[in-house]
């Protein structure tokens, strides 16, 4: 674990695909990354690679101008996709209003002397129990929705500050972020002096696509779904990664 070499292991050599390791040239006091394959002779100045990686992160970051619009967009996208959930919530709320109405009614019948105390208590107990059950159901639905907000906030803030978070983090944090953003690692081309395009975290890619859509569509939000697999639970990009 060397703070100066967070990209080792994560970065693969473009010439042979072998993960790179790192070392220091003690005379020059300069860090290098090196391909681990014998005879590949691929050495890269650690600072040059760091800058190249920063460029990569910047290119995958959401423009700060679109952070807030994107939060709205994602909320819309998810609520569009969660329409069923939303309908479910409405029907639960309707049932809750009904049971409250029944409780009010039984109370006024008791007050006016229509029913006796025994009947009043019997019915009230039953209705209150039902009310509790409905509130539990509503709690479950609302819990999901409030978590969704938290999730959207976290993911958008995270994807808008990739480079900043990476630069300010320690070795562990840097490696974590690298793994989240580029689950398959990355390939560095010595010839081109830059990282080659690799698959990005799915939800990050979808967020970038949506923010591009917002750029093109200055009039407002876009009503469209993203790939359902993203709604199931984007692996690795949850508020639990807050430890970063
Ligand atoms: Zn190599």
Q: Are residues 10 and 122 in the same domain?
A: no
Q: Are residues 192 and 213 in the same domain?
A: no
Question: What Å distances lie between residue 151 and 53, 139, 144, 179, CA to CA?
Answer: 26, 18, 10, 19
Q: What distance in angstroms lies between residue 191's CA and the mean position of ligand 1's atoms?
A: 12
Q: What distance in angstroms lies between residue 166's CA and the mean position of ligand 1's atoms?
A: 26
pLDDT of residue 205: 86
User: What's the total number of domains in the chain?
Assistant: 2
Q: What distance in angstroms lies between residue 164's CA and the mean position of ligand 1's atoms?
A: 30
pLDDT of residue 228: 45
Q: What distance in angstroms lies between residue 42's CA and the mean position of ligand 1's atoms?
A: 6
Distance CA 122, CA 129 (A): 11
Q: Which of 200, 215, 230 is the last residue of a domain?
A: 200
Q: Tens of pLDDT along the chain (244 residues)?
A: 789 999 999 999 999 999 999 999 999 999 999 999 999 988 999 999 999 999 999 998 888 888 888 888 888 877 776 776 778 888 999 999 999 999 999 999 999 999 999 999 999 999 999 999 999 888 877 656 667 788 888 889 898 999 999 999 999 999 999 999 999 999 999 999 999 988 888 888 888 888 888 877 766 666 665 554 444 344 445 544 444 4
Q: What distance in angstroms lies between residue 39's CA and the mean position of ligand 1's atoms?
A: 8
The radius of gyration of the chain's CA atoms, rounded to the nearest angstrom, is: 27
Q: Are residues 225 and 196 in the same domain?
A: no
Q: What distance in angstroms lies between residue 189's CA and the mean position of ligand 1's atoms?
A: 10
Distance CA 237, CA 122 (A): 50
Q: Are residues 155 and 171 in the same domain?
A: no
Distance CA 35, CA 41 (A): 7
Q: What distance in angstroms lies between residue 43's CA and the mean position of ligand 1's atoms?
A: 9
The SS3 assignment for 29 reads coil
Q: Are residues 134 and 233 in the same domain?
A: yes
Domain range for 186: 1-61+161-200
Q: Are residues 221 and 129 in the same domain?
A: yes
The pTM is what? 0.67
Q: Are residues 125 and 237 in the same domain?
A: yes
């Amino acid at each position: 674990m060397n703070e100066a070499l967070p990209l080792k292991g994560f970065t693969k050599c473009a010439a042979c695909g072998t993960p790179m390791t790192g070392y220091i040239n003690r005379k020059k006091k300069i860090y290098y990354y090196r391909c681990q394959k014998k005879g590949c002779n691929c050495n890269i100045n650690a600072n040059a690679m760091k800058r190249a990686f920063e460029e990569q992160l910047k290119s995958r970051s959401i423009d700060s101008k679109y952070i807030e619009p994107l939060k709205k967009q994602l909320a819309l996208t998810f609520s569009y996709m969660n329409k069923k959930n939303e309908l479910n919530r409405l029907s639960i709320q309707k049932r809750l209003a009904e049971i409250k109405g029944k409780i009010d009614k039984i109370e006024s019948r008791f007050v006016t002397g229509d029913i006796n105390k025994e009947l009043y208590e019997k019915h009230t107990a039953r209705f209150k129990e039902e009310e509790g059950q409905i509130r539990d159901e509503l709690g479950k639905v609302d819990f999901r929705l409030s978590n969704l907000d938290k999730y959207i906030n976290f993911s958008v803030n995270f994807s808008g500050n990739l480079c900043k978070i990476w630069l300010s983090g320690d070795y562990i944090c840097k490696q974590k972020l690298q793994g989240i953003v580029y689950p398959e690692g990355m390939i560095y081309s010595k010839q081109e002096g830059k990282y080659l395009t690799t698959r990005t975290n799915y939800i990050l890619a979808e967020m970038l696509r949506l923010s591009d859509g917002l750029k093109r569509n200055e009039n407002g939000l876009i009503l469209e779904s993203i790939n359902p697999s993203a709604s199931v639970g984007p692996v690795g990009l949850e508020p639990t990664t807050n430890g970063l």
